[in-house]
Structure 1
Amino acid sequence: MLNIKQEALAYDLGEDWSQKKISLLEQKDVIEDNLLKQISAVLKIPVEAFQNFNEEQAINIISNTFHDTQGLVNYNPTFNNNPIDKLIQLHEEKIVLYERMLREKEEMMQRLEKLIK
């Protein structure tokens, strides 16, 4: 509903997370409260939007999150219609993921070296 990629959510949750782990999490029927709170904080969505999920209700909760006390919308998303900007953004995301992959590879190599010794 928020158009957030699994890779982006995994990155925001920290180095213990991966796209695959997010995918598996999405398939779970029950998510632990502490994990739900962490995801809620990252997505800036109330925990209630996840509990007893109902698409229409979730939209209302998410929508109400972005209203101030006077009922005026504070959230004004900007839509990027410039393909060059989108291409640059995707390239930057790719670089971040590549650097993370290199770090993970280096960590794996260190672990393998320790095992060999």
Structure 2
Amino acid sequence: MFKKLFLAALVLLAVVNIVLIRANMRLGYDIEAKINKPPKIHVFQTKYNEGTQIVFNHEEHSQGYGLECIECHHVESCDHCHKKEIIQVDIEESKVALHKNCLHCHQALESGPRQCDECHKR
């Protein structure tokens, strides 16, 4: 009796697993596409002025202004930042890169935000 009950429980567990796996496959959540695709909008949390945020419209800059990836991301390949594995970037490292890229470009073109509080909003 115990063997039959145990076997029935195993069969039931196998069926439930198969149903859940198939349901997950139908949902089609593709983690690869999410990680390798650049975000439309990126929010940078800063330490400036008691933790302001910078909202950067990546899509507007790349598509709206026709900028190529290399114009901001320099000589690194796209997968240098858009890796299959998510990593945490040091805040100081990103601060230097953002100021070097964004501010210098905006000053050279004399357009877009060029003062601290134009990007660093509460």
Bigger RCO (CA 8 Å, 6+ sep): 2
Same fold (TM over 0.5): no
TM-score by length of 1: 0.27
Structure showing greater radius of gyration is 2
TM-score by length of 2: 0.26
